[in-house]
Amino acid sequence: MTAATATAPLDLRDVHHAYGGVEVLHGIDLVLKPGEVTALLGPSGSGKTTLLAVAGGLLRPTSGRVRVLGEDIAGLRLDRVARRVAFVLQAGSLIPYLTVEENLLARRVVAGYKITRADRARAAGLLAAVDLAAKARRHPDRLSGGERQRACVAQALYTGAPVLLADEPTASLDRVRGRAVMRLLAEHARETGASVLVATHDERALDLVDRTLTIEDGRLLPP
Ligand SMILES: Nc1ncnc2c1ncn2[C@@H]1O[C@H](COP(=O)(O)OP(=O)(O)OP(=O)(O)O)[C@@H](O)[C@H]1O
């Protein structure tokens, strides 16, 4: 192993995953570089969501290993994984009884920090970037599906985690908003050095990513 891959933000080696004995990932090798957005393409059922879940420690691989910032994810405490990996999940991740702004700030509160003016300004900046400035005080059930999706993107970016895994983050968005979200992910990667992996069917914004990979039947196709 080279020094570069030893410290890659995310490094998957020969990762397999099976649900109830049925293998759906068959030996995934994937290294993400800092500051890059990688799009993960593939037909429905090809394994994109499963790959993201295994990559971020939500699922244990049946075999193979996942390293985040050089450390085996299997050996990391959950709070340390959460500091390294942020998700935009298809199911969403907003807490229903908090406003959109509070949803962004919630993790800092839970971690014991006092919310400062700078924290609020950063949250406001991200909500403006996803065009939700006017809806920061709304609860998620009073947002459209696309607005909830954009709130989830802002929430993931707010964590500042060095690895961001996004599952179809533009699925409910029109072309302009979908491209705006992808551009935001790309800017975030460039500005913070984060590695971003985006599972997507959305070919309208692929010119904004650094690299595309395709998965078919649980195997990554050669680039
Ligand atoms: N919890 C589960 N239990 C059993 N099988 C599952 C489970 N989740 C996914 N699968 C199966 O694993 C395979 C990969 O599913 P996955 O959701 O990872 O694909 P995907 O590429 O993300 O699909 P989509 O684009 O439709 O979201 C599919 O055959 C699916 O039916």
Distance 49 CA to ligand 1 centre (A): 7
| Distance from chain centroid for Cα 93 | 12
**Other Cβ atoms closer than 10 A to 155:** 26
Q: Going by CA atoms, what residue is nearest to atom 25 of ligand 1?
A: 44
pLDDT tens by residue, 96-118: 999 999 999 998 888 788 889 99
Angle 122-53-132 from CA coordinates, rounded to 5°: 30
Torsional sign, CA 162, 36, 53, 171: positive
Length of the chain: 223
pLDDT tens by residue, 120-160: 999 999 999 999 999 999 999 999 988 999 999 999 999 98
- Report d(CA 186, CA 71) in Å as an integer: 25
Distance 87 CA to ligand 1 centre (A): 17
Residue 49 Cβ contacting ligand 1 at under 6 Å = yes
Indicate which atom in ligand 1 lies nearest the CA of residue 52. 18
Q: Please state at what angle helix 117-129 crosses helix 145-159, rounded to 10 degrees.
A: 140
Determine the residue of 24, 25, 201 to mutate for testing ligand 1's pocket, defined as the one with the most ligand atoms within 8 A of the Cβ atom: 24
Determine the residue of 16, 17, 23, 48 to mutate for testing ligand 1's pocket, defined as the one with the most ligand atoms within 8 A of the Cβ atom: 48
What's the pTM value of the predicted model, to 2 decimals?
0.92
Q: Which two tokens stand for residue 183?
A: 């551009």
Distance 1 CA to ligand 1 centre (A): 31
Q: Is the ipTM beyond the 0.90 threshold?
A: yes
Distance 46 CA to ligand 1 centre (A): 7
- Report d(CA 122, CA 23) in Å as an integer: 42
- What pLDDT does 53 receive? 95
pLDDT tens by residue, 171-211: 888 898 899 889 999 999 999 999 999 999 888 899 999 99
Determine the residue of 15, 16, 17, 19 to mutate for testing ligand 1's pocket, defined as the one with the most ligand atoms within 8 A of the Cβ atom: 19
**Amino acid of residue 62:** T
Q: Going by CA atoms, what residue is nearest to atom 12 of ligand 1?
A: 24
